[in-house]
Amino acid sequence: MLTRFHADNFKCLQNFTIEFDTFTLLTGPNGSGKSTVLEALRSVANLLAQRGNLETLFPTASLTRWDNRAEQVFEVDVRTPNTGEGAEALAGGNYHYALRIGYDRLRRQNRVVEERLAFEDKDLYRASLDPNTPQTSGAPSFRAQLFKDSGQRGPEVMMDWLYSGVARIQEVADNRLLQRFRRFFNQLVILGINPDSVSAETRADEPMIDFNGGNFAGWLLHLLSAEGLACREAERSLKDGLLPELALFQLEAEGSLRIAKAVFQVNGKEIKLRLDELSAGQRAIVILEHALAVAKTWGGTLIIDEPANFLGLTEIQPLLHRLHDAGTAGQLQAIITSHHPMSIDLFAEQAGRWLERAALGPTRCHQVAERVERLPDSAMPLSEMVARGWAQTG
């Protein structure tokens, strides 16, 4: 699970640090930086999962507007349990990852200045620019020192400063700790679903779903072969909830395309609807249920921006409870952003992080519980207190 994230000089995140539990709710006013936290996390995760490079994931426009520094810094802490058995066993512990990016604002260029991964304070990977050994072009070299799981130094190699070296190191028998860290980010699911972007058509399977859910058909094609049991669990949940007549999801071939369809059994008849023929709320809950089931199978982390969007009240409460219960039971880690009253009333006091910022200022994070302690006793719901401005600084 993610335990800590730090970002500096990324949009409204200036020397910003947040800590996470097995279930965490990020709340606060619109414009406070909730979605920006997820964007920064998503950019780091995509870099580590080789779903982009520095130029695409960290454009110059991502620098804080009022800060003239030409560097961004990110830090991620991840805690893992004991994994594997016998010769494949790996001890649980804490990873610390740090990334420093340097920018040339005028040329709109950037490069990795320093990257480091450690496990239990023991280096696994360390890389930095080396101005003392320039390339033939005159630019400094980017050198990486590799380490074995035992802590012994491995080879020193040249790397490309537009990519994460941690993501590109070849898998070998003595870097399994690094592989486990990398696998965590390959399986990190981050969603901010936009049903209008969701297509029923795909030409190939997709190993990870896009942030907006647009490529769900391709992800479903991948999951049906790789995570069939999770797909069945998602279908059962949908049948018990918003899609009571659902039998299953399938992808039918139409030329070079595969079309995602929901198959219903109604009065003994089989009815098929394309994914994009479902309502916006139905498309959203279909994606959410599959993401929840898959994250539980992986024992990973599921991050959702405003899961209550497009859902009715009868769908929101059970979904929130199942996310919370799966997190507290150790089946997955769930992190959500929401200012929906139900989310605040159910979880803010125990698991809430309140984000706020002054106009054009940096985002700051506080424990909701700390704010609640200073409030007078009241039978008023917490969401109503928030609506009346109780959490604002001042």
pTM check: above 0.85: yes
Does 117 reside within a domain?
A: no
Strand partners, 349: none
Q: One digit per residue, pLDDT tens: the chain, 394 residues?
A: 999 999 999 999 999 999 999 999 999 988 999 999 999 999 999 999 999 999 999 999 999 999 999 999 999 999 999 988 888 899 999 999 999 999 998 888 899 999 999 999 999 999 998 877 666 555 678 899 999 999 999 999 989 999 999 999 999 999 999 999 999 999 999 999 999 999 999 999 999 999 999 999 999 999 999 999 999 999 999 999 889 999 999 999 999 999 999 999 998 899 999 999 999 999 999 999 999 999 999 999 999 999 999 998 888 889 999 999 999 999 999 999 998 899 998 999 899 999 999 887 999 999 988 877 776 666 788 888 888 776 565 4
Burial 199-222 (b: 16+ CB within 10 A, else e): bbbbeebbebbbbbbbbbbbbbbb
In three-state secondary structure terms, 167 is helix
Q: Give me the pLDDT at residue 394, please.
A: 44
Which position has the token pair 């454009």?
59
Does 256 reside within a domain?
A: yes
Based on the structure, what is the number of domains in the chain?
1
Does 245 reside within a domain?
A: yes
The Cα–Cα gap between 388 and 382 comes to 10
Does 247 reside within a domain?
A: yes
The Cα–Cα gap between 352 and 393 comes to 16
Does 231 reside within a domain?
A: yes
Does 204 reside within a domain?
A: yes
Domain of residue 263 covers 197-299
Q: Give me the pLDDT at residue 392, please.
A: 63
| Of 234, 345, 240, residue with least CA distance to 290 | 234
Does 279 reside within a domain?
A: yes
Beta-carbon contacts of residue 355 (< 8 Å; ≥ 6 apart): 26, 27, 28, 32, 33, 34, 37, 363, 364, 365
Does 371 reside within a domain?
A: no
